[in-house]
A and B are shown apart, each in its own frame.
Chain A
Amino acid sequence: MQPSERPVVLEVERATKRFGPVTALRDVSLQLRQGEVLGLIGDNGAGKSTLVNIICGALRADEGRVLVDGVERHFTDPSEARHAGIETVFQNLALIPTLNIWENIYLRREELAPGVLGKTLRVMNKRAMRREVEKGFERFGLTLPPLSTKVSSLSGGQRQQVAVTRGVLWGSHIVLMDEPAAALGVMQTEVVLALVERLKAHGISLLFISHNMQHVLRVADRIAVLFLGQKVADFEVGANTQATELVALMTGAAGGDLAAAKALP
Chain B
Amino acid sequence: MPEPSSTGRPRWRAPRPRSEGGARAVASKLGAYQSGGLLVALVLLSVFFGTQSAQFWRSSNLKVILLQVSVVGIVAIPGAMLVLSGYVDLSVGSVAVLAVAVFGDVVKVDHQSVAVGIVAALAAGTGWGLMNGFLISYLEFSPIVVTLGGYAGARGAAEAITHDVTQYGFGSSFGVLGNGTLAGLPVPGVILIIAFLLGAYVWYVIPTGRHLTAVGADKAAARSLGVPVRRIPFVLYILSGFASAAGGLILTSQLDSASLSIGIGLELQVLTAILLGGVAFSGGRGSLWGVLFGVFFVGVLNDGLILMNVGPYYANLAVGIVLVLAAGSDAFYRRLERIPVQIDETRPKRGAVAAPPPTDVRMDDAAV
- Interface positions of A (Cβ within 8 A of B): 56-58, 77-80, 82, 88, 90, 92-99, 103, 107-108, 110, 121-124, 141-145, 149-150, 152-158, 161, 183-188, 190-191, 194
Known: A99-B217, A124-B206, A143-B343. A187 touches B365 (CB 8 A): no
CA distance A82 to B225 in the complex (A): 9
In the assembled complex, how far is the CB of residue B24 from the closest CB belonging to chain A, in whole angstroms? 7
Known: A188-B367, A191-B361. A124 touches B221 (CB 8 A): no
In the assembled complex, how far is the CB of residue A182 from the closest CB belonging to chain B, in whole angstroms? 12
Sort chain B's interface into a size bin. Answer: 35 or more
Judge if B341 is at the interface, Cβ distance under 8 Å: yes
Known: A107-B214, A185-B368. A190 touches B361 (CB 8 A): yes
Residues in A neighbouring B346, C-beta threshold 8 A: 143
Residue of A nearest to B222 (CB): A96
Stretch of B181-189, B261-269, B332-340 that contacts chain A: B332-340
Interface core residue of A143, A156, A186 (most chain B CB under 10 Å): A143
CB-based closest 10 A-B pairs: A79-B226, A157-B368, A185-B367, A110-B207, A78-B226, A94-B221, A141-B360, A94-B224, A155-B340, A145-B341
> Once A and B bind, how many residue pairs between them come within 8 Å at the CB atom?
129
- Interface positions of B (Cβ within 8 A of A): 24, 28, 205-207, 210-211, 213-214, 216-218, 220-227, 284-285, 337-341, 343, 345-346, 357, 360-365, 367-368
In the assembled complex, how far is the CB of residue B363 from the closest CB belonging to chain A, in whole angstroms? 5
CA distance A68 to B218 in the complex (A): 29
The secondary-structure label for the interface of chain A is: loop
In the assembled complex, how far is the CB of residue B43 from the closest CB belonging to chain A, in whole angstroms? 27
In the assembled complex, how far is the CB of residue B334 from the closest CB belonging to chain A, in whole angstroms? 8
A58 touches B223 (CB 8 A): yes
B341 touches A92 (CB 8 A): no
B210 touches A107 (CB 8 A): yes
A98 touches B362 (CB 8 A): no
In the assembled complex, how far is the CB of residue A111 from the closest CB belonging to chain B, in whole angstroms? 9
Residue of A nearest to B357 (CB): A187
CA distance A58 to B24 in the complex (A): 36
CA distance A157 to B28 in the complex (A): 21
Residues in A neighbouring B363, C-beta threshold 8 A: 142-144, 158, 161, 187-188, 191
